[in-house]
Structure 1
Amino acid sequence: MGAVDLQPGQYFVGDARQRVRTILGSCVSITLWHARYRVGAMSHFLLPHRAAVQQGGPLDARYGQDALRLMLQRLLSEYGVSPRECEAKVFGGGDMFPLRELDGGNSVGRRNGEAAQQMLLAHGITVRSESLFGKGYRQIYFDIGSGDVWVRLATPPGARDTRPGGMP
């Protein structure tokens, strides 16, 4: 069974033989999984979309819109899987600087997480679970064979997660 380390700005598409892992701060990962074929995909994007002046050119997985399109294209071309046949899980969007309140609650992590939710809704993909926002970073481990995703949330020293049910 192969383990793949996903870096920021990358995505991966594979089958039941693979497991994918990454570490997320304000970045977001979308996992897509097809239960019958036991194939899936995972992204690690930094920003929700390109600036208007950057539109055009090849798709770039650093951006959520592009990463999702790349994953969906490969799932369709390599495995014959359409978007509506997948289930999604969404992770990340953490506040890496919880002691700084400079952005009025509209951090890049929050924008990334909200964009992921909207993109999946627009494609008609069911979101089965999510672990978004809060303070700190997450370690993600996706087993494509089972569709299971394990998440470990770690808060920065001195910061406490104040979400209801949040982890200290």
Structure 2
Amino acid sequence: MKKPVGTTEVVLAPGQVCFATRPTRLRTLLGSCVAITFWHPQRLIGGMCHFMLPGRLRNDQPLDGRYADEALELLLRHAHVNGTQARDYHVKLFGGGKMFPERQRLVSTQDVASLNIRAALALVERHHLNLTAQDMGSTGYRTIMFDLWNGDVWVRHQPMGTPQKNAYQKNQCAVGR
């Protein structure tokens, strides 16, 4: 996890999207939200979004990173502006932890976490993106660190009702297509 000299660190809040073209470490904290990391292995550029909801009914409003489809659209636009194509990026998905699992049993509707996971997977499929890893579902929150200089994503997952972990683990969950 050693950073190159001059590395910038950016912490994303819910609804934010960041794309960088120099050595950058992107961080975020996820509960039911989902983060999409987007990395170009040849150019060492990319970004991350932290979306809160699957989508909205838009009435010609500006794109908003709080929504899955719009957050991904913002990342795709950054890729285009930088002369790259979406299919050349490695994509990883994180989050979608159920934050109130005990309430799920009481209510027959789907929870936001599950809807966000489904939205993320559907967007990857719809845009024919190169999904290389995912760590979604379960309960609790995840802390994410994404290093643009090498594409590594470090995850610390804290499931509900378990003792706190202090160590990050490099995400190596490959995804079969």
TM-score (norm 2): 0.84
Q: Distance in 1 between matches of 2:20 and 2:126?
A: 24
1:88 to 82, 86, 91: 91
Shift of the 12–103 alpha-carbon distance from structure 1 to 2, 3 Å rule, reads: farther
Deviations 1:113-149 (CA, angstroms, capped at 9, x unpaired):
1101110111110110000010100000000110010
Question: Secondary structure at 1:56's aligned position in 2?
Answer: coil
Q: Structure 1 residue 16: deviation in Å?
A: 4.1
| Structure 2 gap segments, 5+ residues each | 1-6, 164-177
| Structure 1 gap segments, 5+ residues each | 160-168
Identity of aligned residues (%): 40
Corresponding position of 1:127: 131
1:99 and 2:102 are equivalent in the alignment: yes
Corresponding position of 1:66: 70
Q: Structure 1 residue 68: deviation in Å?
A: 0.3
User: Do 1:15 and 1:145's aligned partners in 2 also have CA atoms closer than 8 Å?
Assistant: no
Deviations 1:38-62 (CA, angstroms, capped at 9, x unpaired):
0011000000101x3x432110000
Question: Secondary structure at 1:118's aligned position in 2?
Answer: helix
Question: Secondary structure at 1:147's aligned position in 2?
Answer: coil
| Counterpart residue identity of residue 146, structure 2 | F
Q: Structure 1 residue 95: deviation in Å?
A: 0.2
Q: Distance in 1 between matches of 2:55 and 2:107?
A: 19
Q: Structure 1 residue 105: deviation in Å?
A: 6.9
Q: Structure 1 residue 15: deviation in Å?
A: 2.6
User: Do 1:88 and 1:127's aligned partners in 2 also have CA atoms closer than 8 Å?
Assistant: yes
Q: Distance in 2 between matches of 1:93 and 1:75?
A: 25
Q: Distance in 2 between matches of 1:39 and 1:141?
A: 15
* Aligned residues: CA RMSD: 1.5
Question: Secondary structure at 1:99's aligned position in 2?
Answer: helix
Question: Secondary structure at 2:64's aligned position in 1?
Answer: coil
Q: Structure 1 residue 106: deviation in Å?
A: 2.1
Q: Distance in 2 between matches of 1:29 and 1:69?
A: 14
User: Do 1:16 and 1:143's aligned partners in 2 also have CA atoms closer than 8 Å?
Assistant: no
Q: Structure 1 residue runs of 4+, over 4 Å off?
A: none
Q: Distance in 1 between matches of 2:109 and 2:159?
A: 18
TM-score (norm 1): 0.88
Question: Secondary structure at 1:114's aligned position in 2?
Answer: helix
1:3 to 9, 15, 26: 9
Task: Give the number of equivalent residue pairs.
Answer: 156
Deviations 1:142-168 (CA, angstroms, capped at 9, x unpaired):
001100101111022379xxxxxxxxx
Q: Distance in 2 between matches of 1:103 and 1:152?
A: 29
